[in-house]
Chains A and B, each alone.
Chain A
Amino acid sequence: DIVMTQSPDSLAVSPGERATINCKSSQSLLYDSNNKNYLAWYQKKPGQPPKLLMYWASTRQSGVPDRFSGGGSATDFTLTISSLQAEDVAVYYCQQYYSSVTFGQGTTVEIK
C-alpha cells in the first residue's frame, strides 16, 4: 500500500499570507508512460463533502481560485495558498490514485 504523509498537521497563517502544505508518498506517483503524477488535493470543511482542488498534482479544478496551486513530483508534493482568505480555513487532504486510493492524514489550516 502507498502511504501518504502530510506536514504539518496544522498551521496558522495571517490573512493575506502564504500557506504551504507538504505531502510525501511512500513510493513514486509519477507514471512514466504519460509523465503524470497521480496525486490530488481536496479541501474539507465541517458539514460539507470534500472539494477537489487539484489533480495530476498541479492542474486546478474548474472554479478553484488561482491562489491555490499545486507542485512537486514523484514522492514530494506541495499545495500552496498564495494569499490566505478567511474562507480557506479548512482541512486539506492529499490523495494518491497511482495504485488504488489512499489519503494523507490531513492538514488543518487556521487563521492567525
Chain B
Amino acid sequence: DAKTTQPPSMDCAEGRAANLPCNHSTISGNEYVYWYRQIHSQGPQYIIHGLKNNETNEMASLIITEDRKSSTLILPHATLRDTAVYYCIVRSGGYQKVTFGIGTKLQVIP
C-alpha cells in the first residue's frame, strides 16, 4: 500500500471549515483513499473514501487532485466534537496490509 504523509497537528476555529491535507504521491491506480477519525482512545470511525472523483457525504467532503497524489478532507463547519485525530490511508485489493500513520490531530477552538 502507498504511504501517506499528513501534518501532525492543526487548529481550526469553531464554525469554520477544516481542511486536512494528505499526500500519497506513490498511490497506484487501484488504490482508494480513505479517511478515518479517532476521538480520544475510541475505535477509529470511517468518514469517507474515494478513488479519483470528489466525494461528499453527511460528514465531510473529499477532494482528490487530478494526479491522485494528494487529497484534502473538508469538514465544512467544524464543531468542538470534531476534535480528533484524522487518519488518511490508501488501500487496494492486491496488497492486504493496511498502514495507518500517526494522523493529524485536529483541535477545534471555540
The answer to whether A and B come from one shared complex is no
